[in-house]
Amino acid sequence: MTTTRSILVVSHTGRADSIEAAANVMRQLRESGIRPVLVEEEREQLLRAGADIEGVDTLDGEHVDDLELVMVLGGDGTILRAAELVRDHAVPMLGVNLGHVGFLAELERDDLANAVQRVVARDYGVEERMTLDVSVTIGGDVVYETWALNEATVEKASRERMLELVVQVDQRPLVSFGADGVVISTPTGSTAYNFSAGGPIIWPTVEAITLVPLSAHALFAKPIVIAPDSTLAIDVLGRSDGIGVLWCDGRRTFELEPGSRVNVERSDTPVKLARLHDSPFTDRLVRKFHLPVSGWRGPAA
């Protein structure tokens, strides 16, 4: 183990405000005796943007296991990208939202300076978020393996042809229908694609997996919630000649030919998120979605 504290800074380098925020964070970390680290690609992008990265190491020369924390400056997409770097190394991520809704982020941009001070003081907690193991089999052979923090989706690849799907839960068939696809979500992802598709919001402390059909041609095509130790499988049938595509967190993709089966189950490797506040998830929902709560009188006496 290194005696010098090292923190990886991941930012949305396509935005000027994110580049400026990254430069300020790295400067404050250096002034506090902490070594900021960048991935090589972002280092080059920040250099081209004129950011001050003097004395900043690259992840190539820094073992990931030696990182104390990842500070992520951007929206949920940037956090999902950072999760790909550190999930297998149990390094927590602290997100500062510079995007829009930013459900995965712990803080907003106005709290950035305070966030650095809290990190320097090691004044933060860590919580684990459930992830999914996802694989594709054809004829019993595994042809693709990946994972998801938010969701895995099976979607039609072309607009003119729907997919014919069979949903299986715990090795038993549940329902078959033609649809644009299905969304399989974690509680963390319940406020993302799952929510937009009509699925339920699930509190992060509730361990469950949801499945939401997308524009299904069926009477029984409602969202379902299953136990975290259950397994899901989606068979892509060949009746419509529709080609599907698997997306995980909107980042990792694989084409699904007829006869493909997508298998989804809870992963043994969670993602760790750093937390600075103990505010209830209810408050986060109200704040992020600007929910109307006028008239609330507080808990009954």
Q: Which residues does the annotation mark as catalytic?
A: 76
CA 264 – CA 160 distance, rounded (Å): 27
CA 82 – CA 72 distance, rounded (Å): 7
CA 21 – CA 94 distance, rounded (Å): 14
**Burial letters 139-178, b for 16+ CB under 10 A, else e:** eeeeebebbbbbbbbbbbeeeeebbbbebbbeeeeebbbb
Distances (CA, A) of 154 to 19, 85, 144, 158, 189: 35, 24, 14, 12, 15
Dihedral of alpha carbons 218, 220, 223, 229, sign: negative
At 286, which helix (H) or strand (E)?
helix 281-289
Length of the chain: 301
What the block records as the tokens of 145 is 């393996």
